[in-house]
Amino acid sequence: MHRESIQLSTATREVLVDITPQVRAVVERSDIQNGLVNVYAQGATAAIMIQENWDDSVQTDVVELLRKLIPRGVWRHDAQDGNGDSHLKAGLIGPSESIPLIDGQLGLSTWQNIFLCELDGPRQTRQVICTILGE
């Protein structure tokens, strides 16, 4: 097993941040060739998503869809800290993804990348835990 934390900052309230290069670097340092890579976002208002990487339109569409499905400012939790929608969006997407590790490479297709979904930014520090299990 190998585990590392990836730390990053975000500049806007809602954005998908491509973390594939950082995850690939963790895989390389692990010396594990075959197994599973689990990518987990720490924090109740962040999530992990595997999505198309060809251009920014899909990431923008994801953010716009979430805004339409879960609008801001209408949830009970907003009375506490104004981010009820962020918690619901993060719960809908989920905190983690698992990717097969095949011959030392992430088992992503040509058009897939791994994204941190920032849903309550901007944040100076977001932490993503990358755990690799295998041989």
Question: What pLDDT score does 49 carry?
Answer: 98
Quote the CA–CA distance of 68 and 2 in Å, as a whole number. Answer: 39
- 98-123, pLDDT tens digit by residue? 999 999 999 999 999 999 999 999 99
- 3-59, pLDDT tens digit by residue? 999 999 999 999 999 999 999 999 999 999 999 999 999 999 999 999 999 988 999
- DSSP, res 31: T
pTM of the predicted structure, to 2 decimals: 0.96
* Domain at 2-134: CATH architecture: Sandwich (2.60)
Closest C-alpha to 59, from 122, 14, 106? 14
- 87-104, pLDDT tens digit by residue? 999 999 999 999 999 999
- 60-76, pLDDT tens digit by residue? 999 999 999 999 999 99
Closest C-alpha to 93, from 122, 59, 134, 127? 59
